[in-house]
């Protein structure tokens, strides 16, 4: 699997007009009364025949990477191998407190555009290239960020030569089905919880719910990414209910603070009210997109992510994979004495088994609904959470 680079949200930046190229014939037809002389063997003619230069048509612009129809990864090489051959709790040597979970961009590369002053690269989610994102390039490559996982993208090169525009064919590539990590400057362990498939054939919406570590080290670039690129409207802080805000992201961001439980603490009465409050954030469509976090973005954050994904009908395997992304980060990779395998087995798996006990003979999704009802959430609120998180169809 080759590594790939990501794209920004689809905003129509520029529409390029297609230009029709015409080519004239080479040479002229001689006049009827032009004298022609044929040389005999060993003789030379008095008049030399002039040969017109032949103009070669330009070579077709070709995709170098990704190859047309190729599947690429948005993760680094180590995480790609892990996701391709995923098995739960095999990460004991991974947690070394370095940030490995930031995504890599897809670097589009092409050839046969030599001599162009510059090129425009158009990227779209449809073959008709409607509403493309457009990149201006002075070289034959373009780094594309923030693509969605498990998505087919289409791209085209328009090379500008001053007197003409040469357009390539429309190429395509598909991103690998895997967790979608997100690069936010100064924030560790960040990712989109969307993109996972569900038991009833749907998919969790992408670009609406993000999870990660806190904002203790966030930079201005990180704030700009969250607010102006990802469009976050709500910060849900799970660290304690003593924080009053405002959000470090700015006064325009809704700030919700609760004392979030983690794993088995979720079933204690002391946490019932706070757990219900954090879940209700996702029942209100006006709160989206949401970024939720604790300190490390692993335990309290992982508990809430489990409940949201399980309610939507995401498989146990994908929920566990999303949880274990934390061990590739510098914050989430921190452990006291336990290794990642024991944390997955004792904490996440133990929590899942207790949630399942609320409806033993039914699906994990139905059991999660039963657990949420025990927190005094209503069926209408639970249905609203599912509607806000799941794609239609």
Token readout for 132 is 């493309």
CATH number belonging to the domain at 2-14+58-175, selected among 3.40.50.740, 2.60.40.10, 1.20.140.10, 2.60.120.10: 2.60.40.10
pLDDT at 31: 42
Question: DSSP character for 380?
Answer: H
| C-alpha span between 278 and 222 (Å, rounded) | 24
160-215 confidence digits (pLDDT tens): 999 999 999 999 999 999 999 999 999 999 999 999 999 999 999 999 999 999 99
Burial 353-371 (b: 16+ CB within 10 A, else e): eebbebbeeeebbbbbbbb
| C-alpha span between 131 and 153 (Å, rounded) | 12
Q: Decide yes or no: CATH 3.90.190.10 for domain 180-389.
A: yes
pLDDT at 29: 39
Question: Can you give the pTM of this predicted structure?
Answer: 0.84
Which whole number is the average pLDDT over 205-229?
A: 97
Please check the confidence at residue 1 and state whether its pLDDT lies above 90. Answer: no
Nearest to 265 by CA among 291, 304, 235: 304
Please check the confidence at residue 393 and state whether its pLDDT lies above 90. Answer: no
Least confident range from 43-52, 70-79, 332-341, 359-368: namely: 43-52
Mean pLDDT over the full length of the chain? 86
**Cβ contact 176:76 at 8 Å:** no
pLDDT at 87: 81
Q: Which residues pair with 210 in a beta bridge?
A: 192, 291
Could you give the C-alpha distances from 122 to 79, 104, 167, 244, in angstroms and in order?
A: 28, 20, 11, 44
| DSSP string of 20-56, one letter each residue | ----PPSS-PPPTT-----PPTT---SSPPP-PPPPP
What SS3 state is found at 342? helix
Binning pLDDT at 50, 70 and 90, where does residue 5 land? very low
Question: DSSP character for 345?
Answer: I
31-63 confidence digits (pLDDT tens): 444 343 444 434 444 444 455 554 455 689 999
- Pick the more confident residue, 99 or 17: 99
Which whole number is the average pLDDT over 307-323?
A: 97
| C-alpha span between 205 and 287 (Å, rounded) | 15
Neighbours of 154 (CB within 10 A): 18
Question: DSSP character for 390?
Answer: B
| C-alpha span between 9 and 370 (Å, rounded) | 36
Would you list the domain boundaries of the chain? 2-14+58-175, 180-389
């Amino acid at each position: 699997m080759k590594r790939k680079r990501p794209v920004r949200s689809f905003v129509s930046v520029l529409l390029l007009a297609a230009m029709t190229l015409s080519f004239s014939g080479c040479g002229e037809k001689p006049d009827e009364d032009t004298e022609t002389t044929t040389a005999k063997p060993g003789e030379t003619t008095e008049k030399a025949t002039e040969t017109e230069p032949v103009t070669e048509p330009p070579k077709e612009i070709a995709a170098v990477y990704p190859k047309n129809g190729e599947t690429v990864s948005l993760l680094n090489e180590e995480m790609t191998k892990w996701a391709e051959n995923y098995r739960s709790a095999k990460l004991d040597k991974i947690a070394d407190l370095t940030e490995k979970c930031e995504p890599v961009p897809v670097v589009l590369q092409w050839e046969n555009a030599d001599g162009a002053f510059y090129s425009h690269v158009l990227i779209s989610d449809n073959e008709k290239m409607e509403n493309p994102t457009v990149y201006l390039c002075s070289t034959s490559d373009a780094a594309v960020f923030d693509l969605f996982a498990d998505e087919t993208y289409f791209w085209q090169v328009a090379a500008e030569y001053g007197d003409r525009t040469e357009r390539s064919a429309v190429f395509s590539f598909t991103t690998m089905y895997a967790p979608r990590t997100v690069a936010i400057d100064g924030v560790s362990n960040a990712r989109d919880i969307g993109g996972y498939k569900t038991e009833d054939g749907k998919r969790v919406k992408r670009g609406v719910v993000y999870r990660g570590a806190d904002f203790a080290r966030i930079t201005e670039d990180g704030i700009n990414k969250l607010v102006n690129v990802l469009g976050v409207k709500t910060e849900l802080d799970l660290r304690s209910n003593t924080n009053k805000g405002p959000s470090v992201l700015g006064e325009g961001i809704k700030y919700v603070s609760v004392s979030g439980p983690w794993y088995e603490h979720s079933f204690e009465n002391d946490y019932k009210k706070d757990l219900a409050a954090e879940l209700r954030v996702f029942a209100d469509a006006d709160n989206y997109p949401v970024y939720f976090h604790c300190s490390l973005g692993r335990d309290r954050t992982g508990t809430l992510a489990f409940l949201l994904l399980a309610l939507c009908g995401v498989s146990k395997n994908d929920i566990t994979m999303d949880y274990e992304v934390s061990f590739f980060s510098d914050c989430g990779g921190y452990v006291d004495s336990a290794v990642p395998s024991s944390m997955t087995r004792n904490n996440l798996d133990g929590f899942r088994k207790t949630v399942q006990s609320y409806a033993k003979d039914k699906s994990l999704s139905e059991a999660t609904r039963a657990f949420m009802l025990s927190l005094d959430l209503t069926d209408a609120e639970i249905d609203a959470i599912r509607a806000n998180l799941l794609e239609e169809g």
